[in-house]
Structure 1
Amino acid sequence: MITNTKIHLFEVSIANHHCDGSGSLNIENAQSFLDEARTKALREIELSSPSSDLAHIEPIVLWSECDYRGRIQFPDSILVQTEFRTITNARYRIIQRLIRKSDRKVICNSNSFCILFDSNRKRPWKQSVSLRAV
C-alpha cells in the first residue's frame, strides 16, 4: 500500500441550480462533484508525473459508499479532498471528503474502490508509482 500519498483539493461554489426547493445541495450533484474531483486529481497527478502520459487514464468506480453528515445550503462552497491509495497494481481505494467551506465541517465521507482504466489500450492501468506524492 502507498504510504506516501498526496491529498488533492478541488473547490466548488454551490449555484442555485445545484440545489433542491429548500436550498440544500442535491445528492446527485454531490456525487457529480465527487466524480469531477477524482478526475481533477488524476489531472494533477498527470502534471506532476515524470511520464506525463495520463490523459487517457480514467477511474472506473467498482463500489462506493458515502456517509452524509450534514447539509450544504446555497450560497456556500465545498472543498473536496481526494486521496488515491493502492490496493493492487490496478485497483485503488479513493478516500474523499466534502467539506463545507463556511465552517470547515466535513459533511460527507466517501470511500470508493476503483480500477484506473487505460482507454487507449482498453485495459487496466498498472503503474501505481505515478500516484505517489511528489
Structure 2
Amino acid sequence: MEKLLSASEIAALKIPGLPTTRAAVNVMAKRDGWEFELATGIGGTRRLYRLPAKYLPPSTQDSQQRPAAPVVGTIVRGSSQVDMHKLELAIKAVDTWEQTRDAKIDADRRPAVITVLYEFLVKSEGSDDAAIDVVLRALG
C-alpha cells in the first residue's frame, strides 16, 4: 500500500531535491503536477500527495520505472549530496531490526528512524556495523 503524505510531512523528511517548508512543497507539487487525494479532517480539507518515484530510495521504486541517476558523496550542510551506500545500510538495518524482533516501526516514525541512523552513519568515525548497533540498541 502506498503512503500518502501531507506537505508538512514531506518537508519534514528533508529529502534531497525537495523543499523543506510546507508552503514550498505545495508550490512544487502544484507546479510539477503531483498526484494527490483530498483528506477531510479537523481543520478542513488538505491534500495528501504521492511522492514522485524519483524522490524515493531505489528499493521502493517500481522496478518498471527508469533507474534513478547515481548520486555520489555524503551529505554536506547546504548541499543535496547523499552517500547512497550509507542510506541503503540504514534502510537495511531498520528492515533487519524489524525482522529479527518480529516488530514493526510505526510508518510515521520509520523515515525519522532511517534519517537518524543515516546521519549517525555519516558522522561516525568507526565501522558502519558498530554505528548501526549503537542506534538500533536505542530503539529497544
- Give the TM-score taking structure 2 as reference length: 0.28
Question: Quick check: which has more Rg, 1 or 2?
Answer: 2
Q: Which has the higher strand share?
A: 1
Q: Greater RCO between the two (CA within 8 Å, min separation 6)? A: 1
